[in-house]
Structures are given as C-alpha cells and as structure tokens.
Structure 1
C-alpha cells in the first residue's frame, strides 16, 4: 500500500513554521495554527484509492423489514485465524453488528505502533481483514453495521487527543462504505438506522466512544483489582465521552419512533467493579446517559458492548425508568483466559472469557427478547430473557 512519509514530514514542518513557504502550503488558504490542523489538511489530500475497502457487502434490511435475530461481536485480530467468526458465519440472522476492535491496527504482533503518522499498520490491518476468506464469507452473508474502538482508531485506549484520528476516521468510513453516508459528513463515526413498521421497529444506535472522549484518570495502583488501569474521574472534573454534537444527536435519536432501541457502545456502560476502560471511568457521563434515556422517555433501550476480552450479561433496576440490560460480546479471537472471578452486582452469571459472540433474539409475538452469549461452537453459554414489559414496552 502506498504511503508518503516525506509528505507527512513536510506537514509537520508546515505546522511548526507557519510563515515559511512549504511544499503543501499553496494548497490551502492561510497557514494551519496547529500540527493537528496541518495533519488533517494533509490527510485530505490522500486519495481514497490509497485506503483499503471491504469486500462488497449485503445491503442493510429494508426500512420496513422486521428484525428478529441480530448478531454481535468484537475484538477480532486480523493476523490470527478466527474460527469463532467462521462459526458466527454459519448462523442465520437479519443483521450483524461488528462493534469494535474489528482489527488491531495499532500494533504489529505485540509491539504497539508509535507516531505512525500515516497509520501504515492500521491501513495494512484493514487490508488484511478484507483479504480474509472467513471475513469475506461473513461480509457476503450478513447486512452489517459497525462501530469502532481504540484498535480500529490506531491508539490503544486512545481518545480525542489522538493526533491521527482524522485519518483513522477516513480509513474506517472508507473501508466500511460509510464515507458517502450521513456519518461521513460529520466528525466521529456515530450513526443510527431503524427497521420495521410501527409496533415492530428496531432502532440501532452506533455510538462513537473514541473521537471525543476525554483523557481518563490513571490508576494509583497498577493492576490492583478494580483499579487495573484507570479510576473514576474525580467529582467536578471536566469530562466528556461523546462530545457536544453527538450528545445532541443522541437526544434526537432517542425521540425518534422505535420499539426496541439497541444502543451500541464499544466500551461497557453498566459495570463499575473493574479498572479497565468503561463508562464508569467517567461517572458523570455515565449518569448523563441514563438521565438522557429518562428525559426523552425512550422505551425499549438495551445496551450492547464489547472490548473486554470476555463476555458478560448485566441487569439492573432503578438506573432507568425500567430495567437496564447490557450484553457484552468479546472476543472473537483475542481471548486471554478460561475463567475470571470478576463479579459485578449487576452481573448475571459468571464472566465468559473464552472466544464468543452475542445474539439478540426478538420475539415480537411473545413480547420478549433474549440476550445470548455463544461459544466458539455456537452453543449458548449465557442467556437472559427479558419481557418487553420489563423494558418499558406495554
């Protein structure tokens, strides 16, 4: 894949000496005020033809299509075989949500990339995913919606201060065919789609928990249980998870007509017992999300997440006007353990760290849905059945 390191060096020169003529300065009106602005101007000159593209996929379901089975998965290392993704490909489903760490584009093996201005590794990772026969088969079978997480963006645990996120967004949206969609017209990778008639309408809301997210509060006791990497931000901290524009957009989405609303967050929302990345590291933002569901009177909200390299199911009363539920499906092929002792008070059953994927089954006639975790053989290993009445639906 073609990259242009000398051009990138010129961009940094442009940023550091804004009154000096440089090879790219004649392409724009005025000089950039920051190195990031200079980078973003340079990134706009990279032709789309130099960015990887996924194999042609199946169109999304029709607007009036009734969804009954939705697959969910995260954490897929494109450099490794993925038999669990192959097993997922044997399922029958209306939609597949690939919800983060769809590639590991910030590292080569276990060595994390540093100052990769051109995001060479990220672009190569997406190209490798496109070339995977297993992924090609899945892509050809299921309509897909996607979210990104840190390894899709190009920096482990990265957030709004990642300087190369402008190019990462272009890579993501170009690869998944989103560049010409609504999401391609605004900063960040969030978007939503709805399917089905009134009374059977499912809304899928794909959040971006990376592009706008504030820095997290580092742990004061590395690897201590509950404080492994981060701690909750102190009360009164200036913190942000979604950014002002995305928060406003989400408020509008929650007021659109829908029955079931699946809100996809690449990182976990409900649990609070661990010190890895999660909404619990920004507790005011976590509460803001719950309060927004309340204030918009949005019924039928169910949370979907990934990232943790383990599967979980959660249920909690009182944080929403009805029962809150979350399914964490992770990972497809980056499992680090067979068992975990982690237990949150909201958690239903033990963690499931072997390779897994998730499924949401919606029984419109029976007025219930089922949140399921399936293992590498497609067997259900964790399950929570939820009556529509328990999530605010009459």
Structure 2
C-alpha cells in the first residue's frame, strides 16, 4: 500500500496543524477518527506490509553459547559511497560485528524532510542501496551482527521523540535487520540485549535506543563556537529524558542479569563533555542517571561503545562508576571530514583519530584483560587502550 498524493498532503497538513478541526486523513481506513496527526500516520503505517520494505541479506545466527574473544564495531556509513574501511573490516576475524548507528544516510535530500516526507522514501532507498553494496554483503555473510540506529538511519538529523514519522522509521529499521519477529520488534523503540558464553566468560551486549524517546536538546547560544558547536547542556532542573521510562526500567533489569563483561552500545557518546555536538552530556541529569544505575545495580564490567562523531576516540576515567569508566568511539567508516582534530577531553586516551576507522574489542579471558582498538581503513592499529578486568570490577 502506498500513500496517494492527496493522502500525503492530508498527512502533512495534520502533522503541521495537529489541532486544526475537520475530517482527519485516513479516517476512512479505521474505525473511529484519529485524535492527532501522529495517530493518523501511525494508523496508516500499521497497514504497511513489511515484505514490501528493504531487507538486508540473510545474516548469521548470534553465537549465544560461544565464548566471545573478538568483537568489531563501526558507525557512519554512507551507502552511496565506496567504503574501504568496511571492506577491510570484512577481512578481519571476529565473533560478532556491532553496526552502531548512521548505518545509512537516509535524510539528506530535503531541508524540510522532517515535516514533509511521511513515506520516508529516501530512507527506504538508502537501505536498499546498502543491501546491494558488496562491502556490506561481505560483512553480512561473515559476521553475526547486532545493530543500533542513530539520527541518519532514524530519519531525522539530530532527531528525537518529536520526529513524527518515527514509527515508520522503526518498522523500516527492524524489517531491514530482521528484528521484526523477535523481542525488539514487539515494543516501541529499537533497544535490545543478548548475552553470550557461559559461566565466568559471559559477555552481555546491551544496545540502547537514544532516539525514539529522547527529549529535545538545548540549542547553542554561540553557533559553531568551540565546545558549543550546536548544543549546550540542558539547564539544571529542566525536563530531560534520553531513554524513556520503559527503556530505563528495562535497562535496570538487564544490568542485573548474570554477566561478566557488559558492553553498552550507545549511538551517541557517553563520557566526553568538551564538544557541542550530540552526546549524553547535553542531558546531564540523564548521563548521571546512567552512571548511578550502573552503581545501584552492582553491574560490573561495563564498557561503553559509541559512534556518531566522524572521529575515533578512546576514553578512560576513574571514579565515575564504582570502577574505572571506559569508552571506545568508532566513527566513521566512510564519512571522514578531517585528518587531525584538536579536540582533547581530559578523559581521552591519546589524540582523536578523524580519518576512516573501525573499532575492535579484544578479550583475553586467560590473562584477565581486554583491549580497545581503533584501526584505520587499512586495518592498521592507530589507537589502543588495555584494561585489566580488575580495573572494571571483574574478579
């Protein structure tokens, strides 16, 4: 089923003027009248057959019984360009690949895209193009995968919960990645978790959704100024929400699951505070809530894995969690904007790495340590940080 031109106009009018009285669009498709523009759109989206949406090539089953020793991660992949870093990543050996956001760029063609394209045609086309890419087909055939979305595969640059077409974006995401018929496909948002391995060597991977429920960010008061490029932290006492009540409760429960190491995937950065782009520090109360939740649940072995920044980073900081906090930012696969970066957060381990890159988490169970690596598009290690299990609360 496809929205007619008249229906598109009707939906756009509803989104733009949700309080305007009159006969709502799509009301003839359902019993009763929708009470809002978003409800009207969602009623339509509920009629779409997922079989008509783009789908990735068949993937490998997740190795839930296997002891993980090597995990790859990457973000920011423009499906319209060749991706040497992704091709190089396909040459690696690993137990799991985490594709953690901006896996396509499906929101670029229209400046008023957020308000005018309820069919998300560009987003669907972008996923179709990704499925046809040889580099992507290679990694899809070689590695079991878990995925997160970020703004450009969500459908709205820097978008949060007020993106009117988020329900359809979720359907597109979950259909493409084969998640529609598993747990994540049965609740709003794209968050989910899986645990791999057996007693003493269990790795839990928690994939957060930092888009679907997120409240608006505070715009900068000094556009493009260093540290204030686009956003500033929300004022103390203001309304802030990153994950939504249900996802927060779910995360609290997951952090109490049995695990030895926990890799928390967030599409946006968690630890740094020196830049003015999207990150958890723009909602500082929510960032602290995350750290407090790790402590209150007694969750040992947490490491943050992030993307989004078009630059690779490694961070380490004592005292934030009951043990040292660590983060690996792997970004980007083929959307690099620079060769060097002056950005230096006090938590950073070495300089930033803006050229094309991907990340690796190596786990040495016998030696009781893990290594966070950044590799360039030739597979050369350019940044690394070795972490003893004892430094992240793992006995």
Same fold (TM over 0.5): yes
Q: CA deviation at 1:5?
A: 3.9
Residue 42 of structure 2 is aligned to residue 20 of structure 1: no
Q: CA deviation at 1:4?
A: 4.3
| 1:301-340 equivalence runs, <5 A | 301-340=302-341
Partner of 2:43: 41
Q: Deviations over 1:281-311 (max 9, x none)?
A: 0000000000000000000000000000000
Partner of 1:56: 58
In 1, the alpha carbon distance for the partners of 2:123 and 2:279 equals 23
Equivalenced residue count is 391
Partner of 1:390: 391
Q: CA deviation at 1:46?
A: 1.6
The secondary structure found in structure 1 opposite 2:382 is: strand
Partner of 1:278: 279
Q: Which runs of 4+ in 1 moved over 6 A?
A: 13-18
Q: Deviations over 1:183-203 (max 9, x none)?
A: 010000000000000100000
Partner of 1:136: 137
| 1:202-351 equivalence runs, <5 A | 202-351=203-352
Distance 1:289 1:175, change over 3 A: same
In 2, the alpha carbon distance for the partners of 1:104 and 1:318 equals 37
Q: CA deviation at 1:48?
A: 1.2
Partner of 1:369: 370
The secondary structure found in structure 1 opposite 2:250 is: helix
In 2, the alpha carbon distance for the partners of 1:159 and 1:331 equals 21
CA contact (8 A) 1:12 1:39 kept: no
In 2, the alpha carbon distance for the partners of 1:243 and 1:4 equals 34
Distance 1:4 1:132, change over 3 A: farther
Partner of 1:105: 106
- What is the TM-score normalised by the length of structure 1? 0.96
- What is the TM-score normalised by the length of structure 2? 0.96
RMSD: 1.7
